Amino acid sequence: MASNIVKFYAWVCKAEVIVARASIALLTLLVFVSAVARTMRQPVGWAVDLALFLFVWCVFLCADMAMRKDKLVTVDIVTAALPKKVQFYLKIVNNIMIASFLVYLIYYASWLAYTSRFVRFQGIAWVSYSWVVMSVPVGCTLLLVTTVLKTREHWRKGY
């Protein structure tokens, strides 16, 4: 059972990278096409809106990838001077606060996605605003899993 979960998580991580890369490439292309079309006095209004939609999803997917690889920006000027034992427990407390905030975001963004299901997203009439808002609970769920795994790994290593 555990190996199936590990395989599934690995698959999710790979899919996350593929979706993020494709989204960044597509949103870059959409912004470029929109700029060229506007220069030619033939604006493509939906292109920027779709690029914004892709960007919102990329933010959360890329945040999870960065957290998984320990590439997030950190400021440890104060904590680096603390004893190792204090640093160990401080990181656990920090991760608990992060996890709590992520749970809060998952709950309220899910509620917002449900309540905004009939609202249309800006210039794209066929896209519900819920699809944009769903980036928050989906991204925060991925970040929560990563936070829990990082905390567990940190705990097992000890100080």
Mean pLDDT of 2-26: 93
Length of the chain: 159
pLDDT at 56 over 90: yes
Burial 23-48 (b: 16+ CB within 10 A, else e): beeebeebbeebeeeeeeeeebebbb
| Number of folded domains that form the chain | 1
What does DSSP say about strands 124-128 and 120-121: parallel, antiparallel, or unpaired?
antiparallel
Contact 102, 147 (CB under 8 A): yes
Q: How many CB atoms lie within 10 A of CB 66?
A: 14
Q: What is the pLDDT of residue 108?
A: 97
Q: In this predicted structure, what is the pLDDT of residue 94?
A: 96
Answer yes or no: are the C-beta atoms of 75 and 94 closer than 8 Å: no
Boundaries of domain holding 152? 2-157
